[in-house]
Amino acid sequence: MKITDTGDLWWKTAIVYCLDVKTFLDWDSDGVGDFHGVAQRVDYLASLGVTCLWLMPIHPAGHSDDGYDIVDYYSVDGRLGSLGDFVEMVRVARDRGMRVILDLVVQHTSDGHPWFQDSRASVESPFRDFYVWRTDSPPERPSENAFPGAEQGVWARDDATGHYYRHQFYSHEPDLNLTNPEVRDEIAKLAGFWLELGISGFRVDAVPFLLSGEDPSEGHEELHEYLRELRAFLSRRKGDSVLLGEVNLPREDQIEYFGGDEANELTMQFDFIGMQALYLALARSDSGPVREALRGRPKLVADSQWANFVRNHDELTLDKLSDTERQEVFDAFGPEERMQAYGRGLRRRLPPMLDGDQRRIRMVYSLLFALPGTPVLFYGEEIGLGEDLDADGRLAVRTPMQWSADAPNAGFSAAAPDRLVAKVVEGRFGPENVNVEAQRQDPESLLSHINHLAHRYRECPELGWGDAEVLDLAESGVLGLLYDWEDSGMVTLHNFTDASTTVSLSLDGLPEGTLLVDLLEGGDSAVSSDGHAEVPVDGYGYRWLRITPPGSRRLR
């Protein structure tokens, strides 16, 4: 049997788990999660099947943007522990076969960062050109800002010199000037620093905005040049490191950020278009939007990969849908204004959006693992964590992890409730009904389901490495995918409707006696001599079927 040399492309079949250290587990009982807490739960994550931890920002910050307003790139937030505690946590993870990646937030800093404090002190400052300044009064264009309604544009006046600095995001987050070689050198230094401490790469924040200016389109080629420089630097320092990019752009633009056929820019990118299509498909009970999104994916070379996700740590953006489509999703899953964010997305988690319907929830996560690419989980998804709509903005989905129904504060912390970094979810999705401890003991729980999916995914290299074809099925509610890799293949089916059906498959070129072996539930379906198979699928059901020729000795 031919096996392709997969080299150091570990991320092709990884399972990525994003967590906020502050809200995961508080080990010293001060109300804030810490590195010791993460280290204590590494075995839990390993048992779940996680192979890569993505940590949201861990640096000292201004505490105005949940850690993304960084004031020191070379240290850690003291509430989380020390650098030594961080390194010990990374060691524990690596001992369990788990890699760690960090958020690389270099589009902006906090206005409290020493670079900016020096930059604003004088126009003669050596750090002046670390940021983007203008002398004349800019026009007010609120729509240019990443947070329309929260900011009146992308320029803010600085009283010290009377000049204006650019901020694509909040006014307390001035944009770094990545056209400045000195700034690029500093970013290389800080990236190299963290690689030396044992991490395996970075999730790169806000990639299209990295080179900010009066006309960002003018710096388009320079941005790609910079990404090539960064990728080359990381490859020299650590050959198997990864750059996972946040690039929410149309497909034709996204392909450029991989570096095309050279694959010399971002290693992986989140499939924002696929994620948004998923919610439209759920709202319509029709797989059509997902079929269209998958067919629209550009073909990637082997050194590039899509990262699939159901929910991330920001608002659940729907900006690539049309106004009418977005309203469909709002009507279905966020009809109240407080459930929406910036007029373009949702500040909710999946279980409350689906009203706790376990059939639909389980189908969605089956699809997450079965989509071609690498699955990314946001902490708490494995147990069906809910949201706190009383929290500000995107903090609605960054609530404490729920470990137990019996321990104080859901087992997250022994501190008094008023000292917690965030409030524990209450009500139907509170710890009384949703927690790790109870679900670990229940073979029918969502946690057990996702554990099963994760381990099956790791046994199916077709999903991470293979080519995927969207099947033309008579049933519009069912998404069918055919995977091919080396001498193995799979078919997956996911039903977006509540009606049971039988799917007719036509699979050409298979030898007589071929079976479709169910990898999730057991059993098999016969393929006729002309390649035809009839496969039943329950309402909101899902099937993972390995194409198994007669005499095959593959595990079922």
Residues 513, 492, 50, 4, CA torsion sign: positive
Residue 465 · residue 373 · CB < 8 Å = no
**CATH classification number, 10-107+181-457, choose in 3.50.50.60, 3.20.20.80, 3.30.9.60, 3.40.50.1970:** 3.20.20.80
Mean predicted confidence (pLDDT) in 235-251: 96
Q: Which residue has the tokens 């740590």?
A: 313
SS3 at position 236: helix
Confidence class for position 4, pLDDT limits 50, 70, 90: very low
Rounded CA gap, 26 and 23, in Å?
Answer: 8
Q: What pLDDT, on a 0 to 100 scale, did the predictor assign at position 151?
A: 82
Give CA separation, 75 vs 198, 234, 243, in Å. Answer: 15, 20, 21
Confidence class for position 553, pLDDT limits 50, 70, 90: low
> Residue 556 pLDDT > 90, yes or no?
no
Which DSSP helix (H) or strand (E) runs through 359? helix 358-370
> Residue 482 pLDDT > 70, yes or no?
yes
Per the prediction, the chain carries an average pLDDT of 94
Who contacts 280 (Cβ-Cβ below 8 Å, separation ≥6)?
289, 321, 325, 328, 329
Give the number of other Cβ atoms within 10 Å of residue 36's Cβ: 18
Rounded CA gap, 349 and 73, in Å?
Answer: 30
Q: Looking at beta carbons, which pairs linking 521-524 to residues 24 or more positions away fall under 8 Å?
A: 522/556, 524/548
Q: Which tens digits make up the pLDDT trace of 152-172? A: 889 999 998 999 999 999 999
Q: What pLDDT, on a 0 to 100 scale, did the predictor assign at position 512?
A: 86
> Residue 269 pLDDT > 60, yes or no?
yes
Q: Which tens digits make up the pLDDT trace of 397-423? A: 999 999 999 999 999 999 999 999 999
Q: What pLDDT, on a 0 to 100 scale, did the predictor assign at position 211?
A: 87
Q: Looking at beta carbons, which pairs linking 456-459 to residues 24 or more positions away fall under 8 Å?
A: 456/369, 456/519, 456/520, 456/544, 457/13, 457/15, 457/49, 457/369, 457/370, 457/375, 458/13, 458/15, 458/49, 458/51, 459/519, 459/555
Who contacts 176 (Cβ-Cβ below 8 Å, separation ≥6)?
106, 107, 108, 109, 130, 131, 132, 183, 212
Mean predicted confidence (pLDDT) in 321-330: 98
> Residue 365 pLDDT > 80, yes or no?
yes
Residues 183, 186, 192, 198, CA torsion sign: negative
Tokens encoding 305: 């990969």
pTM for the whole thing? Answer: 0.96
What length is written for the chain? 556
DSSP state at residue 377: E
Q: Which tens digits make up the pLDDT trace of 189-199? A: 999 999 999 99
The amino acid at 444? E
| Residue among 411, 433, 379 nearest 48 (CA) | 379
| Residue among 230, 114, 113, 249 nearest 173 (CA) | 113
Q: What pLDDT, on a 0 to 100 scale, did the predictor assign at position 487?
A: 84
SS3 at position 515: strand
Confidence class for position 554, pLDDT limits 50, 70, 90: low
Rounded CA gap, 408 and 507, in Å?
Answer: 55
SS3 at position 468: strand
Rounded CA gap, 123 and 140, in Å?
Answer: 24
Specify the fold of 114-166: Oligo-1,6-glucosidase; domain 2 (3.90.400)
> Residue 5 pLDDT > 60, yes or no?
no
Q: What pLDDT, on a 0 to 100 scale, did the predictor assign at position 7?
A: 53
Catalytic residue annotation: 205, 246
> Residue 210 pLDDT > 60, yes or no?
yes
> Residue 135 pLDDT > 90, yes or no?
yes
Q: What pLDDT, on a 0 to 100 scale, did the predictor assign at position 139?
A: 81
Specify the fold of 468-548: Immunoglobulin-like (2.60.40)
Domain boundaries, the chain: 10-107+181-457, 114-166, 468-548
| Residue among 73, 53, 69 nearest 61 (CA) | 69
> Residue 6 pLDDT > 60, yes or no?
no
Q: What percent of the chain has pLDDT over 70?
A: 97
DSSP state at residue 432: T
Mean predicted confidence (pLDDT) in 355-370: 98
Q: What pLDDT, on a 0 to 100 scale, did the predictor assign at position 11?
A: 97
- Interstrand relation of 16-19 and 515-518 (parallel, antiparallel or unpaired): unpaired
Confidence class for position 141, pLDDT limits 50, 70, 90: confident
Q: Which residue has the tokens 């797989």?
A: 287
Please give the torsion angle defined by the CA atoms of residues 312, 314, 315 and 321, in that order, rounded to the nearest 10 degrees: -60
Q: What pLDDT, on a 0 to 100 scale, did the predictor assign at position 468?
A: 96
Give the number of other Cβ atoms within 10 Å of residue 473's Cβ: 18
* Residue 34, φ and ψ in degrees, nearest 5: -150, 175
CA angle 238, 240, 241 (to 5 degrees): 70
Residue 546 · residue 537 · CB < 8 Å = no
Q: What percent of the chain has pLDDT over 90?
A: 88
> Residue 315 pLDDT > 60, yes or no?
yes
Rounded CA gap, 403 and 413, in Å?
Answer: 10
Residue 72: half-sphere exposure toward Cβ, Cα within 13 Å: 8
Sheet architecture: strand order including 155-157: 133-134, 164-166, 155-157
Residue 500: half-sphere exposure toward Cβ, Cα within 13 Å: 3
Q: Which tens digits make up the pLDDT trace of 332-353? A: 999 999 999 989 999 999 999 9
| Residue among 356, 285, 301 nearest 498 (CA) | 285
| Residue among 282, 331, 289, 338 nearest 315 (CA) | 338
> Residue 1 pLDDT > 50, yes or no?
no
Q: Which residue has the tokens 């055919």?
A: 482
- Strand-pairing partners, residue 157, are 164
Mean predicted confidence (pLDDT) in 70-98: 98
